[in-house]
Structure 1
Amino acid sequence: MPSSPAVARLNRVRWATTLLFAATTALCLLVLAVLASRTDARSRTNDLDNGVSRRADGLARTVYYDAGVLHLDALAEDELALSAERLAVIQASVPGRPQIRQAPTARAALPDQAGMDEIWQQVEHDQETVLVSLEASGREIHWAAAPVWDGDRIGAAVLVGADPAESQAAHDRLVRRLALGCAALVLAAAAIGHLLSGRAMRPALRGLDQQEQFLAEAAHELRTPLATLRLVVESGSTSLTRAPAALDEALRLVDRLGRLVTGLLARARVEAGTQEIELTPLRLDQLVEQTVEELPDSTGVTVATEPAVVNGDPELLAQAVRNLVENALRHGGGTPVDVSVTPGRITVRDHGPGVPAEDRERVFECRVTGTTSSGTGTGLAIVKWVAELHGGTARLAPAPGGGLLAELLLSADH
């Protein structure tokens, strides 16, 4: 994949998308975790208050007045009393000043006198079971006080308390688990977001790769004819006698450049999926002869053909033939180049040093990095691409007697 500013920007966008995905997930999970934490805290508090309230109500029904005398004997055997964390019965011998009448729980575990007064005043005011949070033994305790009636007045109250520490510890464990779970989910979401954003950007990265490849191939294809055109124009401009021939040659080169541009654009559009190649019946032997004839340095090229008809794209096939012949001229060391055409096959041979066996597949590949390319250039990569479009392939082999044999094979179905 090309390393370019555009790719770097796409990578930054990918990381930004990952961070945004993770941040959005974290925010949603944070809201859910806060709601869950508050709901759990509220539920535990309600459960605790309901528990002490039911226990106080139940014990208040076992305590009774008879002829103005408070009877507490039933508390000694009542399961609710025996299992209560904190329990006391308070009675107001002096109006508004309750005193502890019976307390199975240690006095230090009960509210102080000010707390008792506050509970008693609230019971007398509401005339029903009340819930109060007061400190005892240095800890915040939830208390429920249920009234005991003496005729038409409240003569005593059963006070039951519960320590929320155990419930709070369970709540704290839940909060820690929520935090750890949310952190794990955020990391998982970030990983998934990074993976998905990478997959989503693959088409864009492939497009950039194709763009870089196209630019490299365009430069490769246009460099030689442009250089030749410059030489022809310079030659015609220095001599009036050469001007007519130079003009004809320049027009021929301009036509060739037009065909090259058309072929390059066709390839770019085919690879981008915006155009399909149109295969038409054509004489492969005539196309090769015409293509070789138009080459500026075709004097060292011999062509031997047999009549052959294929279904193909003439511009793309001509481009592939030009690349094969120009590659042979460039790397053949100035040796003669032989071109032959048989049904479904174009063979180009040079008498140069050849290509090592381990490099014969690599030369058909071209990878662009910045402004440089690896392999032998883009020419043979185009040849292989054209061959595959026509259901065939391209390959290199050592020629008998020395040199290199390049073959363009076309499928009989195309």
Structure 2
Amino acid sequence: MFHSARLKLTVWYLLSIMAISILFSLVVFQGATFEISRGLRIQALRNAAGQRPPQDLFHHPLERDPGSPMIRELAPGGALDNQLFEEARRRVALQLLSFNGVIFVLAGLAGYFLAGRTLKPIENMVDEQKRFVSDASHELRTPLTAMRTEVEVALRDKDFDTPYARDVLTSNLEEIDKLQQLSDSLLILGRYQNTASKSNFAEVSLSNVVEEARQNVKTLANHKDIEIQGTIDDISVEADSDSLAKLLTILLDNAIKYSHQNGKIIVRAYPVKNKVAVSVQDFGAGIRAGDLPYIFKRFYRAEASRTKTKVEGYGLGLSIAKTIVDMHNGTIDVESIPDKGTTFTVTLPRKQ
């Protein structure tokens, strides 16, 4: 599809450039023809008069007619002058044709290149959209298939009784919760990606935002007996409070999931010139070097055999975090050593 569109766009580029080039060549040809004709007339007058032409030669009556019989009478070489005139016209025409041929080739190559550059962002966007739809469909299919299978097996069981029905419904409810989490994550990701306005940006206390994120993950941290350490100075930053709290919640939640039982997480915040940096460090499973370039892609999750840890989720958390950071014109970096831990560092401008 894009190859065909690229060729069509190249043709339009080529037609536009050649139309301008041909029009310019016609103007040049007419101008060159006029100058050659005038030069031959001047030469004919000089040959006839045997002296320099007067000052008003360019307005001489003989100049008005290129094939004036009077010029041929005054200049015995008039026939030769006419031959030179036609030869000069032919040479100018050939040079302009050659020039337009070169322009045609160069314009075709340049047009094909520029068409590719023009369509590349659109092609990437369409490919990204296709991957998103494919990944989302796959993630939605898994719990739906599990629910369907459980219901079909239960209905075929002749001994289907109330306790068994309760187990099936409980399992289905868990799958529904997973579907709801997935749909909520997709809605959040879409909302942040489509947010162009910064009307909600205001001065935010970073310590308050970090504390809010801590409260959001408190239950999960207590379940694994993980301690969240670190003191945050009262640093202010211009940001959207809700999305910033969501960002830190995602990073803390991710750190807890990949931390060992009875572990710890260290949160730091410090100013960096006209910016502020926030880091979340855990001492858990870590991330393999081969996975680091892809962790912010939607639905990307490292293989369980590589992480040695079974973690629930759909691989959307870090993608949402990256989108929030981009919305704040910031950066997010990650350093990780397998089986040693991971550190995420977010750097945001203090003023937007």
Query: Which category of TM-score, normalised to the shorter sequence, fits these structures?
Result: 0.5 to 0.7
**C-alpha distance in 2 between matches for 1:34 and 1:412:** 59
User: Which of these two proteins has the greater Rg computed from alpha carbons?
Assistant: 1
Question: CA RMSD for the aligned pairs?
Answer: 5.0
Judging by fraction of residues, say which structure has more strand: 1
Specify the alignment match of 2:72 in structure 1. Answer: 144
For each residue in 1:53-87, what CA deviation from the matched residue of structure 2 results, as whole angstroms up to 9, or x when unmatched? 6644x4xxxxxxxxxxxxxxxxxxx679xxxxxxx
**Gap regions ≥5 residues in structure 1:** 1-8, 59-77, 81-129, 133-141, 147-157, 294-300, 330-335
Map 1:36-47 to 2 at 5 A. 36-47=28-39
8 A Cα contact 1:337 1:349, kept in partner: no
Is the CA contact (8 Å cut-off) linking 1:366 and 1:376 kept in structure 2?
Answer: no
Kindly tell me: are residues 218 and 26 of structure 1, through their superposed partners in 2, closer, same or farther at Cα, counting changes over 3 Å?
same
- Between the aligned residues of both structures, percent identity stands at 16
Residue 172 of structure 1 and its aligned partner are, at CA, apart by 3.3
Q: What is the Cα deviation at residue 367 of structure 1?
A: 9.7
- The answer for the alignment partner of 2:339 in structure 1 is 399
Q: Report the alpha carbon displacement of residue 272 of structure 1 after superposing the two structures with TM.
A: 5.0
Q: Does 2:227 correspond to 1:287?
A: no
Q: Distance in 1 between matches of 2:179 and 2:145?
A: 11
Is residue 26 from structure 1 mapped to residue 18 from structure 2 by the alignment?
yes
Deviations 1:284-320 (A, max 9, x none): 3443355699xxxxxxx83524378996647666777
- Native 8 Å contact 1:263 1:319 kept in 2: no
Aligned to 1:345: 280
Hey, what's the Cα distance between the residues in 1 that align with 2:266 and 2:151?
38
CA distance in structure 2 between the partners assigned to 1:292 and 1:202 by the alignment: 44
2:78 aligned to which of 150, 161, 164: 161
CA distance 1:338–1:274, change in 2 (3 Å):
farther
What is the TM-score when the length of structure 2 is the normalising length? 0.58
| Contact 2:226-2:264 at 8 Å conserved across structures | yes
Identify unmatched segments of 5+ residues in structure 2. 53-66, 233-240, 268-278, 305-312, 326-330
State the match for 1:101 in structure 2.
none
Residues 179 and 55 of structure 1: CA distance in aligned 2, closer, same or farther (over 3 Å): same
Question: 1:349 is paired with a residue of what secondary structure?
Answer: coil
1:233-261 CA-to-partner distances (Å, cap 9, x unmatched) read: 56765542143454355345434422321
> For the residues of structure 2 that align with 1:270 and 1:201, how far apart are their CA atoms?
25
Does the CA-based 8 Å contact 2:301-2:314 persist in structure 1? no
Q: Give the aligned residue type for 1:20.
A: W
Cα pair 2:185 2:316 within 8 Å, conserved:
no
Match of 2:318 among 371, 383, 390: 383
2:226 to 304, 315, 322: 304
Whether 2:176 is the aligned partner of 1:254: answer yes
- Tell me the residue number matched to 2:290: 359
Distance in 2 separating the partners of 1:288 and 1:253 = 22
1:314-359 Cα distance to aligned partner (Å, 9 max, x none): 7666777777788x69xxxxxx877754435364735xxx865x52
Change (3 A) 1:178 1:349: same
Q: Which has the higher helix share?
A: 2
